[in-house]
């Protein structure tokens, strides 16, 4: 397995459609991929809105559609959006690579990390250079990367765990129930419960082994 880190400087974003996202926001963080569909990716984001702008203004972008606002803290409510940018659509075709949240859009540019098998990474880089050439690319073998607990989770497991944390499932009192998560993610409650249970078991085993 390999991990590739890609970065686009702010000047590179001009005319890509991503620069439109930074009109209402000074900073956007994609914290989870909630659903990967054939025509785009439903994402959970945290945004620092500029004065006079709000979540609905995200839909002014050609490639982003605002869907809903979720309960949050510190005045930064997470938003659910549907992203159809060409780079996102191109990424969907690769079943042997995964874009790893969180990643941030800001006036300093964008940095993302992608994990996958070497052949998939190579094809992903070729696609990226055709659609939106990055300013810098760094590829490392995964055995050279320090493995943390989240690296042990499958992509779908990680997405659901991130959503659960962001929505307050592990808060006391809970900010969201399994039923509410199932409605928001359009998944069976039993499926979400199974993903969370398996993820929790994996993380507990990792913690014990570290000790």
- On whether both 59 and 120 belong to a single domain, the answer is yes
- On whether both 110 and 16 belong to a single domain, the answer is yes
- On whether both 106 and 173 belong to a single domain, the answer is no
- On whether both 38 and 102 belong to a single domain, the answer is yes
As for how many domains the chain has, the answer is 2
- The answer to whether the CB of 167 falls within 8 A of the CB of 71 is yes
Stretch 65-71: mean pLDDT, rounded? 86
Secondary-structure percent of the chain, ordered helix, strand, coil, rounded to 5: 40, 30, 30
Distance of CA 82 to the CA centre of its chain: 12
Stretch 68-91: mean pLDDT, rounded? 81
Q: Which of 157, 62, 56, 141 is nearest to 101 (CA)?
A: 157
Q: Which of 5, 136, 107, 102 is nearest to 48 (CA)?
A: 107
- The answer to whether the CB of 45 falls within 8 A of the CB of 30 is yes
Give me the chain's average pLDDT, please: 84
- On whether both 19 and 104 belong to a single domain, the answer is yes
- The answer to whether the CB of 82 falls within 8 A of the CB of 33 is no
Stretch 176-197: mean pLDDT, rounded? 87
- On whether both 62 and 137 belong to a single domain, the answer is yes
pLDDT higher than 90, residue 36: no
Spell out the residues 6+ positions from residue 129 whose beta carbon is closer than 8 angstroms to its own: none
Stretch 88-116: mean pLDDT, rounded? 86
Task: Among 119, 144, 169, give the residue marking a domain's end.
Answer: 144
Beta bridge partners of 18: none
Q: Which CATH number is 192's domain given?
A: 1.10.10
Enclosing domain of residue 172? 149-210
């Amino acid at each position: 397995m390999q991990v590739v880190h890609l970065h686009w400087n702010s000047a590179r974003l001009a005319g890509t459609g991503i620069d439109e996202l930074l009109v209402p926001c000074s900073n956007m963080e994609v914290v989870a991929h909630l659903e990967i569909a054939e025509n785009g990716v439903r994402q959970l984001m945290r945004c620092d809105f500029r004065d006079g702008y709000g979540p609905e203004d995200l839909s002014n972008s050609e490639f982003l559609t605002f869907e809903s606002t979720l309960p949050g803290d510190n005045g930064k409510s997470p938003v659910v959006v549907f992203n159809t940018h060409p780079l996102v659509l191109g990424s969907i075709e690769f079943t042997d690579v995964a874009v790893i949240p969180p990643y941030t859009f800001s006036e300093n540019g964008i940095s993302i990390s992608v994990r996958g098998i070497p052949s998939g990474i190579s094809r992903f880089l070729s696609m990226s250079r055709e659609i939106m050439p990055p300013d810098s690319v760094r590829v490392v073998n995964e055995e050279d990367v320090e493995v943390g607990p989240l690296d042990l989770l499958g992509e779908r497991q990680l997405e659901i765990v991130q959503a659960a944390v962001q929505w307050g499932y592990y808060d006391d009192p809970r900010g969201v129930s399994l039923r509410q998560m199932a409605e928001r993610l359009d998944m069976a409650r039993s499926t979400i419960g199974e993903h969370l249970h398996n993820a929790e078991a994996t993380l507990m085993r990792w913690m014990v082994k570290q000790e």
